[in-house]
Amino acid sequence: MIYRVFQFMRSLRNWLIITLIAIFTVACNPAIPSQSSAPTPPNNPQIAEVKPTVASKVVALTSLSADIIYRLDKTKLVGIPGSRLLRENAEMSKLPQVSEGQTPPNLEKIIALKPDLVIGATGFHDQVLEKLKGLGIKTMTSSITSWKSLEELTKAISTEIQADPTTLIQSYQSLLSAKSAKPESTLVLVSSQPILAPNKNSWAGDLLTQFQINNAAAELQGQSPQRGYITLSAEKVLEANPKVLILVDVGDGTINKLKEAPFWNKLDAVISDRVYTFDYYGLVNPGSIDAISKACNKLQEIIKATA
């Protein structure tokens, strides 16, 4: 009986990891303003064209959108989610927090800030955004599973707050300065039970593509509940037998469990000591510009080591 309870708790923990991935890596779509724009004026040549309203008080429900707004025009950001990534910025951490951890945003706190735009994540903030729309507050949703969608979100936010995104987007491009000249088979593992790996339809997978790193799982499809990630058996890992192995630290002991797996010491990457550990933020969940930058720098280190 105790063994069954243990097995149940371990299964529950691993599916929680899948849920965390689902929260932050969803179908790739550009940011979409979800409230209708101002009505079109009557067909009268004497009436000037109505200009779109500039958002001056924005509440961000994701750490990434908060970071982007802050970098574009910090005076427009009035509310942020509770996140360790944002608390690293002393000035930003002083802003009102409308959520904490994985709990839903507090609707009353958001309304109290009197925002004219609220930005959330598709599939996670749908309910609260729908309620805000019903109160006449403009909303926007974002989904980041590719480098292109990061740039599109930045441009969409800059349009809403009337800021110039050029410098920020150029800083993104500078992170991609190094490309792999000799792509070697690379596998990213983000969970041990089940064993999860990103394919090309995820943020992590697209990031590898940007650096021309050969993702061994790029074209694989499976039955994982989260689009962009596949479930691998131990046999599939051995069959892939990557030259480079990237492990994602989600803080639950996953890395140690993978190292204890029977297939571990049979992998070429392990035998040649080409195993790298990445933080969850930056590689799986983009999180913030600094987190993305750190992930990119580590990928560049891998490229240099395998050149």
Query: Taking the domains of the chain in order of start, what are their residue ranges?
Result: 29-35+53-174, 178-305
Retrieve residue 192's tokens.
Answer: 């041990």
Chain position carrying tokens 């930058």: 293
Tens digits of pLDDT across the chain (307 residues)? 433 433 434 444 454 444 545 444 433 344 445 443 334 333 433 333 334 588 999 999 999 999 999 999 999 999 999 999 999 899 999 999 999 877 889 999 999 999 999 999 998 899 999 999 999 999 999 999 999 999 999 999 999 999 999 999 999 999 998 787 778 999 999 999 899 999 999 999 999 999 999 999 999 887 666 789 999 999 999 999 999 999 999 888 889 999 999 999 999 999 999 999 999 999 999 999 999 999 999 999 999 887 6
29-35+53-174 topology per CATH: Rossmann fold (3.40.50)
Q: Is the pTM of this model over 0.85?
A: no
The 3-class secondary structure across 61-130, one letter per residue, is CCHHHHHHHHHHHHHHEEEEEECHHHHCCCCHHHCCEEEECCCCCCHHHHHHCCCCEEEEECCCCHHHHH
Same fold, 29-35+53-174 and 178-305: yes
Q: What is the CA radius of gyration of the chain?
A: 21
178-305 topology per CATH: Rossmann fold (3.40.50)
- What's the rounded Cα separation, in Å, for the pair 53 and 38? 8
